[in-house]
Amino acid sequence: MQKNDIIELDITAMSSEGSGIGRYEGLAVFVPMTALGDKLRVKILKVKSNCAFGKIEEIITPSNSRVESDCEVFSKCGGCVFRHISYSEELKIKQQRVEDAVKRIGCVDKPSNEIVSNLKINGYRNKAQYPISADCSVGFFANHSHRIIPCQNCNLQPEEFSKISAVLTEWMKKSGNTPYTEETGKGLIRHLYIRKAFATGQIMVCLVINGNSLKYENELVLALKELLGEKLKTVVLNINKNKTNVILSDKCKTIFGDGYIYDTLCDTKIRINPLSFYQVNRDMAELLYKKAEEYVNPKDKTVLDLYCGAGTIGLSMAKKAKKIIGVEIIPEAISDAKFNAENNNIQNAEFICGDAKEAANKLAQKGIKPDAVIVDPPRKGCSAELLNIIAKDFCPKTLVYVSCDPATLARDIKILTELGYALKEYTPFDLFPRTSHVETVALMTR
Ligand code: SAH
């Protein structure tokens, strides 16, 4: 097989990124935007020793699960990968992906509970971070690239977000605030970052800027107020003068409101600042946290909540538990967590700012023995050292693992199995319909 060859291919599997996979002369060929059961003519774009990549030249026989995509930039922007198949097919693929990872990487042959499907497959995101293009329009980065694809009306977002984007574009053009260009490091406005608290309707608008201030700042605030009225809770500048592709710096300057928005989650009032992590799908996060609570069974227990962000998971079960100890590395998130405990009259929660492994080590040295440990790490998962401390020093009966990456979850399940834990059950949650992402909560016991 060579580049530019045209081959016939049946799609028989799906990759973790949502590409279809077919086999040709023993080689796996990855073709994006395809569906299980498609019969295709495929143009080969790249051949490697162990696999090849191609694109659809012609659909000979479409899969039964195909549907018409309803998005203009589907396949161009790096967001959705499943707009061309039915939602039920997407759920099957996601559940399979988690099960395959647990079996192949985790070496545990146990089927998952049924994936918890989404209440809403569009308009569920409460957060967006848009790069700004040279003509001041907002968009998204193309897949695996920093090319900006202009897009105002993303289906995954609430309707206010596109209106805010339009206001920003108009204000930039009028006020002479320039868009930032990554290649040159010149220009002012890097990103538009919006968050909406779905339970209260409050909106935060944050501009990430390569400078200290804006020209005609008041005019922007006025235009946003006129658009959003009372819903506009705060406007914040994030000062990021670094030549990096990390979106946010740790420096924020509030130009309207108090710098926070307030949501409710699992009957808990939650304050969040721009730097705190907050699940982008609030309604589904409630279901996920309820499952975590069921697995933890917090009654009269001391629960260690590692990677706690603004304290959301631990606080949601604090009233039933004996004590909650949260650990998180971002200071602003810890300050939200402490505020959230107080604001909800929760007196049995303590929060520690620091690296999960180091904080766990210190707690172990003090002789703390949690009855249950929750971990909710970023995509890279937990370090083997942290898992060792959990299993050998804390040795809780219950370990609940909330994961946004099936592969690292499965890797850590394997390590924990070797350390004396057994995977009791696990439940995938579809927090991000139409994208390739899937969340899982797993219960491990000693
Ligand atoms: N449990 C929270 C946050 C989960 S996201 C929620 O459900 O909202 C993962 C969190 O881990 C982020 O808040 C991130 O800042 C934090 N984090 C990343 N690396 C860390 C580390 N080494 N030690 C502690 N926290 C870390």
- Give DSSP secondary structure letters for 371-405: SEEEE---TT---HHHHHIIIIII--SEEEEEES-
Cα–Cα distance measured from residue 388 to residue 366, given in angstroms and rounded to the nearest whole number: 17
The predicted-structure confidence for 163-216, as pLDDT tens digits, reads as follows 999 999 999 999 999 999 999 999 999 999 999 999 999 999 999 999 999 999
Establish whether residue 378 lines the binding site of ligand 1, counting it when its CB lies within 6 angstroms of any ligand atom.
Answer: yes
How high is the pLDDT of residue 143? 81
Establish whether residue 17 lines the binding site of ligand 1, counting it when its CB lies within 6 angstroms of any ligand atom.
Answer: no
Residue 194 is which amino acid?
A: I
- Give the chain's length: 446
Q: Which residue has the tokens 């203009």?
A: 72
Full-model pTM = 0.95
DSSP β-ladder status, 51-61 and 27-31: parallel
Whole-number Å distance, alpha carbon 438 to ligand 1 midpoint, is: 17
Dihedral (CA of 192, 193, 197, 200) sign = negative
Cα–Cα distance measured from residue 190 to residue 343, given in angstroms and rounded to the nearest whole number: 34
The secondary element (H helix, E strand) that includes residue 359 is helix 356-365
Is there a contact between 128 and 280 (Cβ–Cβ < 8 Å)? no
Q: In this structure, which residue's CA is closest to atom 11 in ligand 1?
A: 307
Whole-number Å distance, alpha carbon 423 to ligand 1 midpoint, is: 23
Flag residues of the chain having pLDDT under 50.
Answer: none
Q: Give catalytic residue positions.
A: 404
Establish whether residue 315 lines the binding site of ligand 1, counting it when its CB lies within 6 angstroms of any ligand atom.
Answer: no
How high is the pLDDT of residue 377? 98
Residue 356 CA: nearest ligand 1 atom is 23
DSSP 3-state assignment of 227?
A: helix
Tokens read off for 58: 């012609």
Establish whether residue 420 lines the binding site of ligand 1, counting it when its CB lies within 6 angstroms of any ligand atom.
Answer: no
Establish whether residue 185 lines the binding site of ligand 1, counting it when its CB lies within 6 angstroms of any ligand atom.
Answer: no
How high is the pLDDT of residue 146? 84
Is there a contact between 382 and 354 (Cβ–Cβ < 8 Å)? no
Q: In this structure, which residue's CA is closest to atom 22 in ligand 1?
A: 355
